[in-house]
Amino acid sequence: MRKYIVKRLLWSILILFFVSFLIYLLMRSLPSSYVETVARERAASNPQVSYKQWLERLNELYGLNVNPLQGFFIWLSQAIRGHFGDSWYYGVPVTQKFGSVIWYSFALGAAALIFQVALAIPLGIQSARKQYSALDYATTVFALIGISLPGFFFITILKMVFAVNLGWFDLNGIVGRMHDSYSPFRQFLDICQHMVLPTLNLVIIGTGSLLRYTRTNMLEVLNSDYIRTARAEGLSERRVINHHAFRNTLIPLVTIIGGTLPGLFSGALITETLFKIPGIGYTSYEAMLAGDIPFTMFYLTFMAILTLLGTLISDVLYAVVDPRVRVS
């Protein structure tokens, strides 16, 4: 097992190298760059120095006067040592900006995941046990609505109902207008209140697929021979479902959920942007729009690491929950 993990990690490093190289190439080939925007602004406000001159100076200042290949290796040699540079758009070190926004995203993702799992698994099991019942049809319809319709659609409806018509929540933002005057505890509650709608949205769009997974697996397990054996042994129906069947349903579920764990740090770009939550998704979206190469490089490489980590975690968890893949 250890050998396998080490091998997988070595492969991941190779993949990571090519991924970051591609991202860098793409960032350098974008039609507009941060430097050009700044040069245009400076040239407009200060006519003595022309746009061309500004561009040359800034290119040198930001290290863009080398070709993309050289530029990548310069970035890489810094990144390996943990120097990701300063964000051009935010003007602070990349890691500092990252550290200040990531926890909003993590809180949002974790809350959503907890609710998704808590909803999807019991509902999935129930609808499998009572296949073709009213409950089964109802959950299927709602799950498919959640899967099929885009997130921004629900966000609009949620805002319409809960923020505009009922007025229970603010339209967007992470803190209310009076945030600074509150006591620390009230401040925390304030943030929680602003997290409700985004979490609700993530739960709506994310629960469906997990629920369907649970239902399908449970159905398959319930029809298997060993469940019949368990019943023939005289075990109560509850024990058959909760122990024998659930343990087998868990195999695919754990690998799926385990694989999404690193995704807690990746942020929800659309939800965060539409709710103006200063999480990592929203922050990197702004950085990308501005052509902020250091921040984007850091964020996208970080995403690549999370993805690779996710597949590794789900593979390892597979071996943990299923004894059949454990040997050799």
Partner 1 sequence: MARKSKKSANYLSARTIRRTAKENRRITRQFEQKLNRKHVAPSEYATVMKDPANVLEVEDLKTYFFTDAGTVKAVDGVSFEVPRGKTIGLVGESGCGKSVTSLSIMQLLQRPQGQIVSGAIRLTQDHGQAVDITKMPIHAMEKIRGKDVSMIFQEPMTSLNPVFKIGSQLDEVIGLHNPDMDKDAVKKRTIEMLELVSIANSGAVYDMYPHQLSGGMRQRVMIAIALACSPKVIIADEPTTALDVTIQAQILDILRRLKDQINSSIVLITHDLGVIAEMADEVVVMYAGRIVEKGTVEEIFKHPSHPYTLGLMASKPVVSRHVERLYSIPGNVPNPIEMPDYCYFRDRCDRAFEPCYGEYPPMISLSPTHKVACYCYQQPADKKE
Only segment of 45-53, 92-100, 231-239, 297-305 that touches partner 1 (CB under 8 A): 231-239
Q: Which of 56, 2, 16 is nearest to 298 (CA)?
A: 16
Residue 60 or 233: the one with the smaller Cβ distance to partner 1 is 233
Residue 47 neighbours by CB distance under 10 Å? 7
DSSP code of residue 52? H
188 is an interface residue for partner 1 by CB under 8 A: no
Give the angle 75-78-83 at the CA atoms, nearest 5°: 115
Q: What is the DSSP letter of 1?
A: -
137 lies in the binding site for partner 1 (CB under 8 A) = no
Q: Given the complex with partner 1, which of 250 and 288 has the nearer CB atom?
A: 250
Residues with Cβ within 8 Å of residue 116, at least 6 apart in sequence: 202, 203, 206, 207, 210
Q: Is 251 helix (H, G, I), strand (E, B) or coil?
A: helix
Among 96, 156, 229, 242, binds partner 1 (CB under 8 A): 229
Say how far apart CA 11 and CA 23 lie, in whole Å: 18
The residue among 8, 68, 77, 29 whose CA lies nearest residue 318 is: 8
Say whether residue 232 binds partner 1 (CB under 8 A).
yes
* The pair of three-digit structure tokens given for residue 169, joined into one six-digit string: 């929540």
Provide, rounded to whole angstroms, the least separation between the CB of residue 243 and partner 1: 9
Number of residues this chain uses to bind partner 1 (CB under 8 A): 22
At closest approach, how far in Å is the CB of 225 from partner 1? 4
Nearest CB to partner 1, comparing residues 103 and 226: 226
Q: Which 199-228 positions form the footprint of partner 1 (CB under 8 A)?
A: 224-226, 228
Q: Which is nearer to partner 1, 73 or 226 (CB)?
A: 226
- Residues 303-322 within binding reach of partner 1 (CB under 8 A): 321-322
Binding residues vs partner 1 (CB under 8 A): 224-226, 228-237, 244, 247-248, 251, 321-324, 327
